[in-house]
Amino acid sequence: MPISTALVTGASAGIGRELVRQLVLDRGMTVLATARRLDRLESLAAALPQGRVSIEAGSLSDDRFRDRLWDRAMEVFPQGLDLLVNNAGIGHYEAFEEEDPAMLREIMEVNLVAPMDLAQKAIRHMRARGDGQVMFVSSVLGFVGLPYSAAYAASKHAVNGLVRSLRYELRGSGVRVWATCPNRTESEFHQVALGDRSGEEVRRAPHAEPVDWVVRSMVRAIDGRSTFQFPGRSARWVVGASRLIPRPFDWFMDRWSPGHFRAEMERGRAKGS
């Protein structure tokens, strides 16, 4: 069946916002977009053809909001939801032993618990219809580790394990569960992970890939069959190197990455101060 309706989380910026734009303009879909910032959602809807984007603002860390969001999706799409995009995610750059426990809980709630909750709702709905897709926006950090991003990497490893398991459970059901795993992408993620949630003057991560190019690859993968998809120029190479040459990869990461990413973290915070 053709995919014509989608629920996209984390739609106020970066990958999520571009996903909504491309799903509407390039694939002619109708989208329910959600994020915390109502003003961002309103500007997104206003920039796209009238009636193609519905919005619902709220925090995915609130289970009551997730219930309300799903009820809204069933109202907006009485004919059925074809695609759930679990895109919303947060990170925070910090040494693990110094991380605030409240931040650890927030990362896991937004990156793992909320996507699991929405995926359960969607799978029940889609299995009954015999058709649909649940797409997780994961990360190359679902396969490899990174210093000062331990909680984020742990959440993405868990997402990838969930995707692998659901692939077996849902075989023959008509429901496809898959993950797209980008490397660094142009967005506000890096800025927010450094502790700046002002939303002003976006400071992109060094060596980040263009968001429109990365998202275009993700959108094409909706028509594919892969369980894990690697958009952008570098994602597949990073994961491939970790698998094909694990010892050299670990040697490089062990000796180079701690100093590099600590310096990057400190420079980023200095710019934001």
Mean pLDDT by 10 residues, the chain (273 residues): 93 97 98 97 98 98 98 97 97 92 97 98 97 98 94 98 98 97 79 53 65 96 96 91 91 80 71 59
Q: 79: closest CA among 4, 170, 174?
A: 4
Range of the domain at 43: 5-272
Tokens of 144: 């490899």
What CATH number has the domain bearing residue 51? Answer: 3.40.50.720
Catalytic residue among 93, 148, 152, 168: 152
Q: Which residues of 26-61 are buried (b: 16+ CB within 10 A; e: fewer)?
A: ebebbbbbbbbeeebbeebbeebeeeebbbbbbbbb
For the whole model, what pTM was predicted?
Answer: 0.90
* 152 belongs to the catalytic site: yes
- Structural domains counted in the chain: 1
**Kind of pairing, strands 30-35 and 5-8?**
parallel
**In whole angstroms, what is the distance from residue 179 CA to residue 163 CA?**
7
Q: Could you tell me what percentage of the chain is helix, strand and coil, using 3-state DSSP and rounding each to the nearest 5?
A: 50, 15, 35
Q: Is the C-alpha dihedral spanning 208, 230, 235, 169 positive or negative?
A: positive
Q: 36: closest CA among 50, 53, 55, 20?
A: 55
- Looking up tokens 């759930």 gives 84
The predicted pLDDT at position 106 comes to 97
End-to-end Cα distance, the chain: 51
Q: 145: closest CA among 263, 267, 258, 15?
A: 258
